[in-house]
Amino acid sequence: MGRLAGKVAIVTGAASGIGRATARLFAREGARVAILDRNGAAARETADDLGRAGADAQAWEIDLAQGAAAEATIAVVAERMGSINILVNNAATYVLRDFYQMTSEEWQTVLDTNLTAYFLCARAAAREMRNHGGSIVNICSVHRIITERNSGAYAASKGGVAQLTRNLAIEFAPDNIAVNSISPGFIRTPMSIVNGVDETTTENFMNYYVKSGRIPLRRAGLPEEVAEAALFLASRECGYLTGADLVVDGGLTITL
């Protein structure tokens, strides 16, 4: 029997990257998985792939930056799939722009997707979990600790996610809902592709981060490795863990 047998899990941004890897792993561990993503075709493809493997997976096309739609969709998932046990807040966007050039609309879109949607989805899921407990996993980032030029909106949103996680852990603890986060480092996903080039394969990345040992494990991470951390938190195998952040970065942040 899988570690998530009988559980219903919602994974946002599950059509690609970390979200897709997490949905696949959760399904293999016995969870019924709701796949939320603004790319409806890719979400349905992911659900179909899991279905062919024998999993119960359903897809919802939704742009989580659209405020109230996030909460409404969580309620629909609960109605169709049953009591929600797990939420993985993973959907994110990244605008590569310096502060002088970034528009207020771009800034707001990043905050709406990467932070406000996490709050709305967490609140909606907690309403469904409060009678039986559950687990909320927020995908944060090492940008909450370190950052770089042209990443201001993303870094601000992830700093907010880190603090939101700690606050929600306190707020939801009386209902036996654990809230934790994961801070990935450089992970090889579609988000690591900038202007058509995967930044984790460039000569600059290899020299500055890999060959130098700035990343002690000397490589970029894989989505599946973040998914394994999400599984640990979702399964609540450590029942006394809440308000924590697991840094999955190959050692990057310890070399500062």
Residues 200-227: b if buried by 16+ CB within 10 A, e if exposed? beeeebeeebbeeebbeeeebbebeebb
Domain-located, residue 3: no
Residue 51, in any domain of the structure: yes
Q: Is residue 153 part of a domain?
A: yes
Mean per-residue pLDDT for 119-136?
97
What domain count does the chain have? 1
Residue 156: which CATH number? 3.40.50.720
Q: Which helix (H) or strand (E) holds 197?
A: strand 197-198
Residue 215 located in a structural domain? no
Question: Which pLDDT value is given to residue 256?
Answer: 80
pLDDT in tens, 16-38: 999 999 999 999 999 999 999 99
Please write the tens of the pLDDT for every residue from 167-188.
999 999 999 999 999 999 999 9
Is 154 part of the annotated catalytic residue set?
Answer: yes
pLDDT range class, residue 67, cuts 50, 70, 90: confident
Evaluate if pTM is beyond 0.75: yes
- Whether 175 is in a domain gets the answer yes
Which domain does 131 fall in, by range?
8-189+224-255
In a domain, 205, yes or no: no
Tally of CB atoms within 10 A around 97: 17
- Residue 203: inside a domain: no
pLDDT at 26: 98
Residue 70 pLDDT more than 90? no
Question: Model confidence at 115, in pLDDT bands (50, 70, 90)?
Answer: very high
Which residue is catalytic, options 154, 208, 209, 240?
Answer: 154
Q: Percentage of the chain with pLDDT > 70?
A: 100
Helix axis angle, 104-111 relative to 152-172, nearest 10°?
A: 30
- Residue 233 CB: number of other CB atoms within 10 A? 24
Give residue 1's pLDDT.
79
Q: Quick one: pLDDT band at residue 96, thresholds 50, 70, 90?
A: confident
Flag whether 217 is in a domain: no
Sequence-ordered list of residues with C-beta below 8 angstroms from that of 136, at least 6 positions apart, any chain: 86, 87, 88, 89, 122, 125, 126, 168, 172, 177, 178, 179, 180
